[in-house]
Amino acid sequence: CSDPCRIVLVESIPEGMVYEDNGTVNPSTFEAWRSLIGAAKSRVDMASFYWTLTNNDTRTQEATAAQGEEILAELRQLPQRGVSVRVAVSSPSAEQPWDDLQALEESGASVRQVDMRRLTRGVLHTKFWIVDETHVYLGSANMDWRSLTQVKELGAAVYNCSCLAKDLGKMFEAYWVLGVPDASIPSPWPANYSTPYNKETPLEVQLNGTDARVYLSAQSAPPALCAAGSVIDAASEFVHIAVMSYLPTMEFSHPRRYWPTVDDHLRKAAYERHVPFRLLVGCGPHAKAAMFPFLRSLAAMSDNETHYAVEVRLFTVPVTEAQAKIPYARVNHNKYMVTDKAAYIGEWRLTGPLPARCARLYGTAGGPSQATVQAQLQAVFQRDWSSKYSRDIRTVGQWETLCRPH
């Protein structure tokens, strides 16, 4: 790919969460979304789980919802500028509002509901934008005002990279086809949906002037996360992972099922190759009791006899009494992995795979340049790991005291 691709890590840092003066600072998700809307000339395609961009959606009166409301207003202006807007969204459940999407349709946008519950017994969990088949956003942030101001998120904005954008566009077109009434999953898929870029043959591209190899991975139910395993297996110097949740189980299966795939890759790396790994896991109201024995088990691999370099820390987002009343907020929702050889950005959780469709950006980059996505991602991880919001799991007594202080 000869495009002059530029990649920027973008974050949402919850209101009131302050790092030390020397902490890594990245552009905000809000800034990235606004820049993409402003750059749109002909078409914006968006894949999303759900939409709650206004106070009306959440029945709140939060001043911090203003950023989400501004994004919705600007998206509604796009058709008036001659920009085509298409939205593929997971079919909403009864409790999920439809007001934002109805407003988009009234402005001239096209919206299709993808009934993943019927097609795969799952959900469309993807969160990405494609602008003019040239620019991309992909990350953990939902189309939710809280994802801009009340939830910690991480994603990547990629500019002037039509090769990657068109490849991601194939995934969007698959969602779009599945969004027609009574759609069925083709078997096999037509050739025009296939991609030449994968783990074995990644897209060779320059990211920020540095040679890189990139591909998109899509989770499509149980055999998923093979890319995550290959990233861990290829590492020789370190593996650093930040996730919202960590459970080696099929979290939503009935009956319950054990799912140790990623856990096995981590233990294998530590045992067979003595690769140090650090695991930073979100600790908040969402935390499930079942998670902590598994985390302590991983941390227990490291002792004076084994010399395995295994560290596990819990990450909390500070919350005031007023903020605690905001539903589904104040959590560390970002999901990424960085090793000495690769960067992996997406919206997956280290729990058993959802029967869903998700997208992740996986890439490697050579050279010591600070512009590499690896260097950027490692700086984010190190900032969070060393911050006052991080606690070694071995020093935490009752996890409820840390994760659910209210």
Q: Catalytic positions, please?
A: 125, 127, 132, 333, 335, 340
> Are 403 and 313 in contact, with CB atoms under 8 Å apart?
no
E strand residue ranges, 142-221 = 143-144, 153-159, 203-207, 210-219
Q: How many helices (H) and strands (E) does the chain have?
A: 12, 20
157 - beta bridge partners? Answer: 8, 137
Q: How many CB atoms are located within 10 Å of the residue 274 CB?
A: 12
Amino acid at 97: P
Sign, CA dihedral 65-68-74-75, equals negative
Give the SS3 label for residue 282.
Answer: strand
The span from the CA of 404 to the CA of 136, in Å, is: 36
Of 348, 397, 380, nearest to 278 (Cα)? 380
- Which residues 6+ apart lie within 8 Å of 290 measured at CB? 247, 249
Residue written as tokens 């890590």?
Answer: 9
